[in-house]
């Protein structure tokens, strides 16, 4: 340590510096047992002191090793001081082993003291922060600091899933992917794991042949490292991003172009199928550009199809949206998920929620845009139908949580918990409905202008809902006469929208020809001796969303489904025979289980072994558990290792 300071301060003030260092050290020692870190007020899901000293850029050099199931290397970050009195740098960390921490000046490394704080109150969900003692600079504190940290992940890393070859589509090669949203980046490497502190990311990745390692940035160089005998790719993300958007994936992967700026990655033998499924991607991108009146900022939009254990439908990692293979329905009918992830390129990735309480600022806005795009492409009926399906999901989730549950608030309280625990359709659908309400007050054209202004004003920033509120209010004030604006704004009860529990307090009528048709069709099954001729053909031809709306409607009237109704549905619509996509299957199996029919169990088991998407797993296990506790639980216990750690935790919560 002394040596380091001798090098650092080659002037006659050196003695003073050493004394002050000793002082800090002493404080550190005396405080060691008494220091209890509190989470940050701005973002209760981080322990980092990003409001005092803030990350600006990250340079990652990482190697993925399949045999040992580890990711290792180093991260060099630059930080700038906001408060020059700050003596420590506190980073979020949850799992990786830290090897060395050094201060870099003029390319030279000087070791720094560090400590992993394990007596934090929310250790279980937020991890154990890394506290680094900063060099004692005396009076000449630099504006920026460069710090290098060497790390290695362990087998239990929550952000990574390593898949055996049997768990992939080809069953020939292993696979690996990361999932950092919401607060998992800290289990990859130490960082200020808060969406408030956006960073410029560069990553150099090393992997054994024949594998390829992808990252959520643009590839800048690709080469073969002769010394290390590894495939190397250097990625750069030229727009600053929140840490939850840092993503890696590796396996035996091929690429197919869809358009000049869009393409798809997948395991070699899936890539052509994936290309056909997502052939409309460029169209979605263009429509989104139209709505936002702004060009796509990220240059390239690629999709990566993951193996079946991916726990979400889609994840908006920049330049590299991750998707579940459950989207490969064969007819492009689940591409609304692509529309959703594309929309995040503006709402979420450009304008980012600054903490997880404001998650609806990402997801509610994105759901709103996703439906606008579907409206532009398939017509307003489809937009409304999707809103109705969303509303059914919202009602189901509110029922599952209970009307009084904190997570039924548009803005819940996440203090002391992992924000993933509160994941549900609430921020998506309540957020969506709030925006539809705000749109209805000013009209669609004006609302589009407001959205455009909002994106323009807050691009590259992290915000809470007040950013939008301000733009909305300014627009209304500037574009109305007399008392009109005031009257509009006075009518909006923001607090009730944001903080009330249970069902949204305003009701919407999203009905459309499509939903009317589905309701009529469903009602027929509830009357005796109806005529079912031609039903199969009608049902089969319906767009997935109509099928989904229909099945949701049946589920909401589950008490009317007796043995006869069940059999009529099953046989006339060939629900057990036809290979419908997973959106249809997961609803049909729930209907069967809720009405105590076990003829779906063999197919249900097949599905549970072939998909790890939480949207399906949780309600399926939950309905099966209600029907037959022992079988559901033992099947899960036997097979849970197929699922992603996040999904395992999420599903386990239904067995109470
Ligand atoms: N960003 C989310 C996925 C997510 C949310 C991951 C929270 C981790 C924590 C993504 O954009 C998303 O919303 N996916 C949905 C798509 C759907 C709403 C169209 C999904 O996975 O189902
Ligand atoms: Zn989303």
Q: With pLDDT > 90 as the criterion, what percentage of the chain qualifies? A: 90
Give CA separation, 456 vs 44, 56, 341, 354, in Å: 28, 22, 19, 17
- The verdict on the CB of residue 575 being under 6 Å from ligand 1 is no
CB-ligand 1 contact for 337 (6 Å cutoff): yes
- pLDDT computed for residue 11 by the predictor: 40
Active site residue 341: yes
Angle between helices 614-627 and 582-594 (to 10 degrees): 20
Rg of the chain (C-alpha set): 26
Distance CA 483, CA 409 (A): 32
> Cα dist. 232→161, 209, 255, 319, 355 in Å?
21, 10, 17, 18, 34
Rounded Cα distance between 21 and 16, Å, is: 9
- Nearest CA residue ID for atom 1, ligand 1: 315
Ligand 1, atom 14, lies closest to the CA of 314
Which atom of ligand 1 is nearest to 420's Cα?
9
User: How does pLDDT run across 208-227, given as a tens digit for each residue?
Assistant: 999 999 999 999 999 999 99
DSSP reduced 3-state for 376: helix
Nearest CA to ligand 1 atom 21: 313
Query: Is 61 an annotated catalytic residue?
Result: no
Is it the case that residue 14 has pLDDT exceeding 70?
no
Give the pLDDT confidence of 23-49 residue by residue, as tens digits: 434 344 434 444 567 788 899 999 999
Order of strands across the sheet with 160-163?
160-163, 175-178, 248-251, 212-215
Question: Does residue 4 have a pLDDT over 60?
Answer: no
The pLDDT tens digits of the residues spanning 236-293 come to 999 999 999 999 999 999 999 999 999 999 999 999 999 999 999 999 999 999 999 9
H helices present in 595-627, as ranges:
601-610, 614-627
The b/e string for 405-434 (b: 16+ C-beta within 10 A; e otherwise) is: bebbbbbbebeebbbbebbbbbbbbbbbbb
Q: Does residue 17 carry a pLDDT above 60? A: no
- Report the C-alpha gap between 402 and 391 in whole angstroms: 16
Q: For the residues of 136-158, what is the DSSP string, one character each?
A: --TT---SEEEEEEEEE--TT-T
> pLDDT by residue (tens digit) across 346-395?
999 999 999 999 999 999 999 999 999 999 999 999 999 999 999 999 99
pLDDT score of 320 more than 70: yes
What confidence score (pLDDT) does residue 36 get?
64
What local confidence, expressed as pLDDT, does residue 5 receive?
A: 35
Residue 244: the pLDDT is: 98
Task: Given the residues 277, 341, 370, 429, select the one marked as catalytic.
Answer: 341
Whether cis (ω within 30° of 0) applies to the bond prior to 182 is yes
pLDDT in tens, 601-622: 999 999 999 999 999 999 999 9
pLDDT at 155: 85
Note the pLDDT of residue 18: 36
CA distance 56 to 200: 6
From the list 184, 320, 240, the residue with the least C-alpha distance to 54 is 240
Distance between CA atoms of 254 and 302, rounded to whole angstroms?
12
Distance 359 CA to ligand 2 centre (A): 10
> Average pLDDT over the chain, rounded to whole?
94
Q: Which atom of ligand 1 is nearest to the CA of 337?
A: 19
DSSP codes, 507-561: ------HHHHHHHHHHHHHHSTT---TTHHHHHHHS-HHHHHHHHHHHHHTGGG-
Nearest-CA residue for atom 6 of ligand 1: 181
Q: What is the pLDDT of residues 519-559, one digit of tens each?
A: 999 999 999 989 999 999 999 999 999 999 999 999 999 99
Phi/psi class of residue 209: alpha, beta or left (left: φ > 0; alpha: ψ in -120 to 50)?
A: beta
- Give 625 or 30, the one with higher predicted confidence: 625
Ligand 1 midpoint to CA 98 (Å): 31
pLDDT, tens digit, for every residue of 277-304? Answer: 999 999 999 999 999 999 999 999 999 9
Q: SS3 of 57, please?
A: strand
């Amino acid at each position: 340590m002394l040596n380091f300071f001798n090098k650092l301060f080659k002037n006659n003030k050196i003695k003073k510096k050493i004394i002050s260092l000793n002082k800090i050290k002493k404080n550190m020692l005396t405080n060691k047992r008494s220091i209890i870190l509190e989470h940050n007020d701005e973002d209760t899901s981080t322990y980092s002191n990003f409001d005092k000293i803030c990350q600006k850029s990250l340079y990652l050099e990482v190697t993925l090793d399949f045999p040992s199931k580890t990711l290792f290397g180093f991260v060099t970050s630059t930080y700038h001081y906001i408060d020059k009195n700050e003596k420590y740098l506190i980073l979020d960390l949850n799992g990786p082993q830290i090897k060395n921490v050094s201060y870099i000046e003029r390319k030279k490394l000087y070791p720094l003291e560090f400590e992993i704080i394990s007596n934090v109150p929310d250790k279980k969900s937020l991890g154990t922060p890394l506290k680094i003692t900063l060099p004692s600079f005396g009076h000449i504190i630099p504006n920026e600091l460069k710090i290098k940290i060497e790390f290695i992940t362990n087998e239990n890393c929550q952000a990574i899933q390593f898949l055996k070859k049997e768990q992939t589509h080809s069953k020939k090669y292993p696979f690996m992917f990361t999932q950092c949203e919401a607060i998992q980046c800290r289990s990859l490497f130490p960082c200020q794991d808060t969406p408030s502190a956006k960073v410029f990311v560069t990553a150099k990745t090393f992997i054994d042949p024949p594998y390829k390692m992808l990252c959520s940035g643009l590839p800048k160089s690709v080469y073969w490292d002769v010394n290390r005998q590894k495939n190397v790719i250097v990625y750069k993300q030229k727009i600053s991003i929140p840490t939850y958007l840092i993503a890696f994936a590796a396996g035996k992967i091929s690429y197919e172009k869809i358009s000049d700026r869009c393409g798809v990655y997948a395991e070699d033998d899936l890539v052509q199928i994936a290309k056909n499924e997502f052939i409309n991607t460029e169209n979605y991108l263009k429509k989104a550009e139209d709505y936002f009146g702004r060009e796509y900022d990220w240059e390239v939009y690629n999709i990566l199809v993951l193996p079946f254990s991916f726990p979400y439908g889609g994840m908006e990692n920049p330049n590299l949206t991750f998707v579940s293979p459950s989207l490969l329905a064969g007819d492009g009918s689940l591409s609304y998920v692509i529309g959703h992830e594309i929309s995040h390129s503006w709402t979420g990735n450009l304008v980012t929620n600054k903490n997880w309480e404001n998650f609806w600022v990402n997801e509610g806005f994105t759901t709103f845009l996703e439906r606008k795009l579907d409206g532009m492409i398939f017509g307003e009926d489809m937009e409304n139908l999707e809103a109705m399906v969303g509303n059914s999901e919202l009602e189901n989730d509110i029922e599952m949580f209970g009307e009084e549950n904190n997570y039924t608030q548009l803005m819940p309280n996440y203090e002391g918990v992992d924000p993933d625990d509160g994941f549900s359709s609430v921020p998506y659908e309540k957020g969506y409905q709030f925006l539809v309400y705000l749109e209805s007050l000013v009209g669609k054209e004006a609302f589009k202008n407001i959205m455009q202004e909002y994106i323009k004003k807050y691009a590259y920033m992290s915000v809470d809902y007040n950013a939008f509120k301000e733009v909305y209010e300014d627009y209304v004030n500037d574009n109305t006469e007399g008392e009109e604006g005031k009257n509009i704004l006075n009518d909006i009860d923001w607090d009730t929208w944001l903080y009330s529990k249970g069902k949204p307090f305003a009701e919407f009528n999203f009905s459309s020809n499509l939903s009317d048709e589905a309701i009529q069709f469903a009602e027929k099954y509830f009357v005796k001796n109806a005529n079912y001729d031609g039903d199969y053909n009608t049902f089969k031809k319906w767009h997935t969303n109509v099928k989904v709306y229909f099945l949701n409607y049946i589920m909401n009237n589950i008490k009317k489904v007796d043995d006869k109704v069940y059999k009529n549905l099953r046989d006339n619509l060939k629900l057990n025979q036809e290979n419908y996509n997973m959106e249809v299957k997961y609803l049909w199996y729930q209907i069967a289980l809720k009405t105590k029919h076990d003829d779906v169990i063999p197919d249900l088991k097949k599905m549970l072994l072939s998909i790890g998407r939480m949207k399906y797993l949780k309600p399926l296990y939950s309905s099966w558990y209600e029907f037959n506790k022992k079988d559901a639980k033992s099947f899960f216990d036997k097979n849970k290792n197929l699922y992603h750690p996040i999904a395992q935790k999420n599903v386990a919560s239904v067995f109470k």
